[in-house]
Amino acid sequence: MTAHAATINASVPPPRPAPTSLDPRVLGVLRCAGGPIGLNLLLLFGHDPTACDTAQGFAQRIHCPVEDVEQALRTLVDSGLVRTSQGPGNGSRVSYWLSGSGELFAVLGQIVGTYAHGPEGRRLLFRALSR
């Protein structure tokens, strides 16, 4: 091994072990998700906390039926995690965005990190959703 390769190998941190449990704050936010589509929306907001779109726009982003995304967004709005606004006029669409604080952003970061751990992390999240 060359000195350069040894330096690179020494600077790579060891992989973190997959999580085996979830922070109570994460569990609380997951309870507000309402299901897998809500989780997908939370993951989207975890990657882009400034995302603001209509239900149709979010449906296109996460590749789910608009009606299912609308229901998941209503659940997130009812829980206080997401806010809405509507332009003037009867035909204007409702826009949704994350109503968050630094603590919520940190929790979403934990959810994204758990999901990124692969199958073990995803299983942990989906099990928490079904509780």
pLDDT tens-digit series, residues 20-70: 789 999 999 999 999 999 999 999 999 999 999 999 999 999 999 999 999
Task: Classify domain 23-129 at the CATH topology level.
Answer: Arc Repressor Mutant, subunit A (1.10.10)
* pLDDT of amino acid 105: 92
| Rounded mean pLDDT, 115-127 | 92
Give percent of the chain above pLDDT 90: 69
Long-range contacts of the stretch 116-124 (C-beta < 8 A, 24+): 117/16, 117/18, 117/19, 118/18, 120/18, 120/19, 121/18, 121/19, 124/18, 124/19, 124/20, 124/21, 124/22
Domains of the chain, by residue range, sit at 23-129
| Rounded mean pLDDT, 73-92 | 88
* pLDDT of amino acid 127: 92
Mean pLDDT of the chain, nearest integer: 88
pLDDT tens-digit series, residues 15-30: 666 567 899 999 999 9
